[in-house]
């Protein structure tokens, strides 16, 4: 997942709660940190994003379910310590699920939220971060393994993990063969969000998106401030791979985007506010943005996975190599990846899950929502961003030149 915004009230239908949470997006975290005012400002505007789950949150009616609590209390018999630090995304975890883990094991979860994988990396790369469990996007993992920022998972310490329960589409991928270091949390797409009342006929491909963003919909289109998602989708529009690092192809993409920039509404990862205000009519968006805007405007808003390709991503649980609470980290992974917990998390955060048994338990309204779980045949052309793309200085420079251009 990239710097998408995720602001999800527990009840998918609770629109009023959303009005408050809407302002809290992943990008804001970066912005706040940059201003050095983050803590104060965000405490003011986003109570839901506060670190630890509220102590008052009642355990959900379904929990603790039999199987889950059995393994959790088995783990509790071992000496797990009393704390665990989880580096993750805003509004990605159901606080009641985390609370249940604490109740069962006595391990309190200290949650740190980040606006992007890059920010997580800056923290763990600096060392001594105190972070135990990190949830990066797929493209970062290879580099993290090479620099031993995360450790090889010891599956003996994950006794309840059952590989056969998981969707093969998301397991054993090139970025982590045999899931040696990572287990998927949720996955998603980078697609196109638009207002069908304004954008007619609808947009179904990146080719159309980039052709019309600067012409028919001049000043009304937004691309996200993320090299992989925006540069990559533009590359797909021109018939190249999402992952292109070919100099000629990159030069062509750069030229196209530099020309387009002046006609865009914005280059910003804060996708939802301008979309909801109808300042933007069409926008690059990540699954979470799409789901939430469509949920609140079912007749008008659309979120589509482009027909010509684009990005598919997975955020995965990993354990930091210098994790101070290793045993607690394994106990947490063993527990949170179980279908019962994974389903509750998915119903809460509205990103699809890679565990089929978990998906079966997800709230039907969420599970049958094609924006959350797109049809399998729409995913066939999508690509995972690879580490070489994430790590390419040439691509980063091309993106910086596009952003700096007048």
List, as one string, the DSSP characters of 316-353.
EEEEBTT-TTHHHHHHHHHHHTSHHHHHHHHHHH----
Q: Which stretch binds other proteins (CB under 8 A): 87-95, 111-119, 238-246, 365-373?
A: 111-119
Select from 92, 70, 71, 87 the least CA-distant residue to 325.
87
How far is residue 281 CA from its own chain's centroid?
A: 23
Rounded least distance, CB 279 to other proteins, Å = 4
| Residue 311 engages other proteins in binding (rule: CB under 8 A) | no
Closest to other proteins by CB, 263 or 307: 263
Contact 307, 381 (CB under 8 A): yes
| Residue 128 engages other proteins in binding (rule: CB under 8 A) | no
| Residue 38 engages other proteins in binding (rule: CB under 8 A) | yes
| Residue 393 engages other proteins in binding (rule: CB under 8 A) | yes
Site for other proteins in 237-276 (CB under 8 A): 261-262, 264-268, 273-274
| Residue 62 engages other proteins in binding (rule: CB under 8 A) | no
Look-up of token digits 């978990």: 358
| Residue 30 engages other proteins in binding (rule: CB under 8 A) | yes
E strand or H helix at 42, and its extent?
helix 38-45
Contact residues for 164 (Cβ-Cβ < 8 A; gap 6+): none
Taking the CB of residue 377, how many other CB atoms lie within 10 A of it? 7
Phi, psi of 225 (to 5 degrees): -85, 65
| Residue 397 engages other proteins in binding (rule: CB under 8 A) | yes
Closest to other proteins by CB, 263 or 378: 263
**21, 100, 121, 315: residue in contact with other proteins (rule CB under 8 A):** 121
| Residue 151 engages other proteins in binding (rule: CB under 8 A) | no
Three-point CA angle 299, 304, 309, nearest 5°: 170
**Could you give the CA distance from residue 131 to residue 87 in angstroms, rounded to a whole number?**
6
| Residue 136 engages other proteins in binding (rule: CB under 8 A) | no
What x/- string results for residues 372 through 391 when contact with other proteins is judged by CB under 8 A?
A: ---------------x---x
Binding site for other proteins (CB under 8 A): 23, 28, 30-32, 34-35, 37-38, 40-41, 44-45, 116, 118-119, 121-122, 125, 143-144, 146-147, 219, 225-227, 261-262, 264-268, 273-274, 277-279, 387, 391, 393, 396-397, 399-401, 403-406
């Amino acid at each position: 997942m990239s710097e998408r915004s995720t602001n999800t009230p527990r009840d998918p239908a609770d629109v009023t709660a959303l009005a408050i949470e809407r302002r809290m997006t992943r990008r804001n975290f970066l912005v706040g940190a940059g201003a050095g005012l983050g803590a104060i400002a965000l405490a003011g505007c986003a109570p839901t994003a506060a670190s630890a789950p509220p102590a008052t949150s009642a355990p959900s009616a379904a929990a603790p379910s039999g199987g889950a609590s059995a393994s959790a209390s088995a783990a509790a018999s071992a000496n797990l310590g009393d704390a665990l630090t989880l580096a993750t995304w805003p509004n990605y975890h159901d606080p009641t699920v985390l609370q249940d883990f604490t109740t069962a094991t006595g391990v309190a979860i200290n949650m740190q939220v980040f606006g992007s994988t890059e920010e997580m990396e800056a923290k763990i790369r600096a060392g001594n971060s105190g972070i135990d469990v990190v949830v990066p996007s797929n493209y970062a993992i290879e580099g993290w393994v090479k620099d031993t920022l995360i450790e090889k998972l010891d599956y003996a310490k994950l006794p309840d993990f059952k590989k056969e329960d998981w969707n093969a589409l998301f397991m054993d991928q090139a970025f982590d063969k045999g899931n040696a270091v990572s287990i998927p949390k949720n996955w998603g797409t980078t697609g196109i969000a638009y207002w069908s009342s304004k954008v007619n006929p609808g947009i179904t491909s990146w080719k159309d998106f980039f052709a019309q963003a600067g012409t028919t919909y001049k000043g009304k289109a937004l691309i996200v401030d993320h090299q992989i998602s925006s540069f990559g989708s533009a590359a797909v529009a021109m018939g190249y791979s999402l992952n292109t690092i070919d100099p000629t192809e990159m030069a062509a993409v750069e030229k196209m985007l530099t020309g387009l920039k002046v006609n865009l509404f914005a280059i910003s990862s804060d996708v939802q506010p301008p979309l909801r205000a109808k300042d933007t009519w069409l926008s690059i968006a990540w699954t979470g943005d799409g789901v939430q805007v469509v949920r609140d405007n079912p007749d008008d808003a659309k979120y589509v996975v482009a027909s010509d390709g684009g990005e598919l991503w997975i955020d995965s649980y990993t354990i930091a190599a210098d994790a101070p609470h290793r045993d607690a980290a394994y106990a947490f992974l063993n527990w949170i990846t179980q279908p019962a917990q994974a389903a509750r998390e998915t119903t809460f955060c509205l990103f699809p899950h890679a565990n089929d048994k978990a998906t079966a338990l997800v709230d039907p309204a969420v599970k049958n929502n094609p924006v959350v779980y797109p049809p399998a045949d729409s995913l066939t052309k999508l690509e995972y961003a690879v580490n070489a793309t994430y790590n390419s200085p040439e691509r980063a420079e091309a993106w910086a030149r596009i952003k700096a251009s007048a």
